[in-house]
């Protein structure tokens, strides 16, 4: 149950604190006073969409806080425990929603940050909101099926989940089978292409790193003559010249000269040793140069072979990859595909068998779901009919049709007929009504008036709230399109609902307002050139004035006040009578 609502800097509300009582709570006020804004804040607390336009002009952020009693809500307590959200000794859940000027929002539960989705999960267990135009959703076949399924409870929800899982498997297997179904001629062409490509790659006998080694060898073979000449010249300079002095000869002469000098100055002996070492290194290098020169190949035939091999690799690269590793990876992929093609028949048979099994299970599951829906529809028809008597629609006939649609191409075979099936089963739910005796049943969208839709939605909300055990119900102008005796019937219904639920209702009708346990007046005021919305609880005399205003419009007279007092007295008598039932 909602205990308290605190709003700051939201739309036209600067600050508002509203303590809502148990039972039947009514909110009234002039048209445009901002009654629906209060309902909007409750919706935001429970995961509704936020926007920057909701922040009051000049404020940095809007704050909405709701205090809920959850001690008798085991489902809520279980979720909070799973999420690690603590509850104090008072067993209250404090939900906070902050919306900043950028439109981004932050959500908290008992001080712990949570997501909007989390708010929504909890909100569906705490409170149900019926907006001004929500009754139009009754025209939707999807909404009608959801209403029926909600009434079916946990068992129907489990059957739906089973159908959804089997349907997902069915679609997956069908998709894989479709991918395997290939024309024989196309399969033959693909096999021939793969065989050709594999043969071409395997015939080349490529080796990792081969291209790099061949490139180096080609460079050496192509430059063999220039390489031989240059190395020979270096060797001659260092060691091999016969007509001229070589580097080694000059180093030897230098060593000899320094040796003589060292006889005079022993300090030069270290230079003699250094130059001797250099001479030895030059001699060794000269021998290595000669060895290298003698190994240089002049092999045009080998060069042609290397060039041909590199050309072959280049052609394969143009077809199958940027390098030998990529070509080999492509070949591995081709082998895998060839194996897949060879195993296709076997895989197709396995998938076909799997598909038959899943189709059998899915057919059983959707028929079980459909049977349960039909049982649920009968119970809902009885419940709605009983409730319609209480809102002055006792002569209305309400039925629920469960239709099936044939689908010869993609349907599921059930009892020899291919039927359209989805994750929600095979049933197309349609609400049918006959508002007046003698009229045939027709789809709701084609026959019901605005007032009838509002009352039917009220009835369905009441029934679903009792089935779901939702503690708080909010109705935003449920009185659309009704008046007179019908308004009184709706008022009594809301009062009776308030005996087992907390009801919060925005209304324009005095008949409904007079039946409430708690009456709140919403008004729009201007202070310091700023417009703001205020809410206050009305005492008995104030309720008389408000009912008189609702009865008489702009001018409140003694007659309308007397009428208002009479309405409150009759409502009190009626409440006492209803309480004894």
* Predicted confidence (pLDDT) per residue in 75-105, tens digit: 888 888 889 898 888 888 999 999 998 888 8
Confirm if 373 and 152 have CB atoms less than 8 A apart: yes
Task: Supply 213's token pair.
Answer: 């080694």
pLDDT band at 481 (very low <50, low <70, confident <90, very high): low
Is it the case that residue 261 has pLDDT exceeding 90? no
pTM of the model: 0.62
The reported pLDDT for the residue numbered 244 is: 60
Higher-confidence residue of 177 and 67: namely 67
Is it the case that residue 376 has pLDDT exceeding 90? yes
- CB-side neighbour CA atoms (13 Å) of 481: 14
The reported pLDDT for the residue numbered 296 is: 67
* Digit-coded pLDDT (tens) for 509-536: 898 899 899 999 998 888 777 878 888 8
Task: Supply 266's token pair.
Answer: 């022993």
The reported pLDDT for the residue numbered 4 is: 92
Is it the case that residue 448 has pLDDT exceeding 80? no
Four-point Cα dihedral 371, 361, 155, 75, nearest 10? -150
The reported pLDDT for the residue numbered 428 is: 92
Task: Supply 140's token pair.
Answer: 């939707």
Higher-confidence residue of 263 and 429: namely 429
Is it the case that residue 455 has pLDDT exceeding 70? yes
pLDDT band at 212 (very low <50, low <70, confident <90, very high): confident
Lowest mean pLDDT among 180-189, 190-199, 523-532: 180-189
Q: Which CATH number fits domain 1-132+469-538: 1.10.3720.10, 3.40.50.300, 3.40.50.920, 3.40.50.10320?
A: 3.40.50.300
pLDDT band at 245 (very low <50, low <70, confident <90, very high): low
- CB atoms under 10 Å from CB of 256, counted, come to 12
The reported pLDDT for the residue numbered 371 is: 95
Strands (E), 452-517: 472-476, 502-506
The reported pLDDT for the residue numbered 374 is: 95
Considering all CA atoms of the chain, what is the largest pairwise distance in Å, rounded to the nearest integer?
Answer: 147
Who contacts 220 (Cβ-Cβ below 8 Å, separation ≥6)?
227, 297
**CB-based burial, 312-331: b 16+ in 10 Å, e otherwise:** ebeebeeebbeebeebbebb
**CB-based burial, 264-275: b 16+ in 10 Å, e otherwise:** eeeeeeeebeeb
Confirm if 419 and 405 have CB atoms less than 8 A apart: yes
Is it the case that residue 393 has pLDDT exceeding 90? no
pLDDT band at 254 (very low <50, low <70, confident <90, very high): confident
Q: Indicate left, alpha or beta for 405 from its phi (over 0: left) and psi (-120 to 50: alpha).
A: beta
Is it the case that residue 275 has pLDDT exceeding 90? no
Measured in degrees and rounded to the nearest 5, phi and psi for residue 28 equal -130, 170
Q: What is the spatial distance between Cα 82 and Cα 27, in angstroms, rounded to a whole number?
A: 36
pLDDT band at 381 (very low <50, low <70, confident <90, very high): very high
Please state, for a pLDDT cut of 90, what percent of the chain lies above it: 22
pLDDT band at 356 (very low <50, low <70, confident <90, very high): very high
Is it the case that residue 297 has pLDDT exceeding 70? no
The reported pLDDT for the residue numbered 422 is: 92
Of 464, 494, 492, 501, nearest to 477 by C-alpha is 494
CA dihedral sign of residues 185, 186, 190, 196: positive
Of 19, 34, 25, nearest to 532 by C-alpha is 34
Question: How is the chain split into domains, by residue range?
Answer: 1-132+469-538, 540-581
The reported pLDDT for the residue numbered 579 is: 63
The DSSP call for residue 508 is: S
Edge-to-edge, what's the strand order for the sheet holding 530-537? 127-130, 472-476, 502-506, 24-28, 518-527, 530-537
Average pLDDT, the chain: 84
pLDDT band at 291 (very low <50, low <70, confident <90, very high): confident
pLDDT band at 424 (very low <50, low <70, confident <90, very high): very high
Task: Supply 530's token pair.
Answer: 């700023």
* Of 154-168, 188-202, 333-347, highest mean pLDDT: 154-168
* Digit-coded pLDDT (tens) for 15-41: 889 899 999 999 988 877 677 788 888
Is it the case that residue 474 has pLDDT exceeding 60? yes
């Amino acid at each position: 149950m909602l205990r308290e609502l605190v709003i700051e800097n939201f739309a036209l509300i600067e600050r508002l604190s509203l303590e809502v009582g148990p039972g039947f709570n009514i909110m009234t006020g002039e048209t445009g006073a901002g009654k629906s804004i209060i309902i909007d804040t409750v919706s935001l607390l429970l995961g509704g969409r936020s926007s920057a336009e909701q922040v009051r002009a000049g404020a940095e952020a809007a704050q909405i806080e709701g205090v809920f009693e959850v001690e008798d809500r085991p489902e809520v307590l279980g979720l909070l425990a799973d999420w690690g959200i603590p509850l104090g000794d008072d067993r209250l859940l404090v939900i906070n929603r902050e919306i900043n000027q950028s439109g981004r929002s932050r959500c908290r539960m008992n001080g712990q940050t949570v997501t909007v989705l989390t708010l929504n999960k909890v909100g569906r267990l705490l409170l149900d909101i019926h907006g001004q135009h929500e009754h139009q959703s009754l025209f939707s076949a999807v909404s009608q099926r959801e209403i029926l399924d909600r009434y079916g409870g946990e068992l129907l929800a489990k059957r739906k989940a089973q159908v959804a899982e089997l349907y997902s498997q069915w679609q997956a297997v069908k998709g894989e089978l479709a991918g395997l179904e290939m024309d024989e001629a196309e399969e033959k062409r693909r096999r021939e292409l793969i065989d050709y490509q594999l043969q071409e790659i395997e015939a080349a006998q490529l080796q990792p790193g081969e291209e790099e080694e061949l490139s180096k060898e080609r460079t050496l073979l192509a430059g063999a003559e220039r390489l031989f000449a240059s190395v020979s010249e270096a060797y001659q300079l260092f060691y091999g010249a016969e007509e001229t002095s070589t580097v080694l000869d000059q180093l030897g002469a230098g060593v000899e000269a320094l040796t003589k000098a060292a006889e005079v100055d022993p300090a030069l002996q270290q230079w003699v040793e250094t130059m001797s070492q250099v001479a030895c290194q030059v001699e060794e290098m000269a021998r290595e140069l000669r060895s290298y020169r003698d190994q240089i190949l002049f092999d045009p035939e080998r060069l042609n072979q290397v060039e041909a091999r590199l050309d072959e690799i280049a052609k394969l690269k143009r077809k199958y990859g940027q390098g030998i590793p990529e070509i080999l990876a492509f070949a591995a992929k081709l082998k895998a595909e060839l194996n897949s093609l060879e195993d296709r028949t076997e895989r197709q048979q396995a998938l076909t068998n799997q598909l038959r099994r899943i189709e059998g299970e899915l057919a059983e599951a959707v028929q079980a779901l459909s049977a349960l829906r039909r049982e649920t529809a009968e119970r809902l028809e009885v419940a709605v009919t009983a409730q319609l008597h209480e809102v002055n629609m006792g002569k209305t006939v309400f039925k629920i049709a469960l239709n099936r649609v044939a689908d010869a191409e993609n349907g599921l075979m059930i009892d020899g007929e291919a039927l359209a099936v989805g994750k929600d089963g095979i049933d197309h739910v349609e609400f049918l009504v006959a508002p007046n005796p003698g009229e045939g049943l027709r789809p709701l969208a084609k026959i019901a008036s605005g007032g009838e839709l509002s009352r039917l939605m009220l009835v369905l909300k009441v029934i679903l709230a009792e089935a779901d055990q939702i503690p708080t119900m909010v109705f935003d102008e449920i009185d659309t399109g009704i008046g007179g005796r019908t308004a009184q019937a709706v008022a009594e219904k809301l009062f009776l609902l308030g005996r087992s639920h907390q009801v919060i209702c925005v209304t324009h009708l005095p008949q409904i307002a007079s039946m409430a346990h708690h009456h709140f007046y919403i008004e729009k005021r201007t202070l310091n050139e700023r417009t703001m919305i205020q809410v206050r609880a009305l005492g008995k005399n104030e309720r008389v004035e408000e009912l008189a205003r609702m009865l008489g419009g702009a001018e409140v007279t003694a007659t309308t006040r007397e009428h208002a007092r009479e309405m409150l007295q009759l409502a009190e008598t009626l409440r006492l009578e209803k309480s004894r039932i």
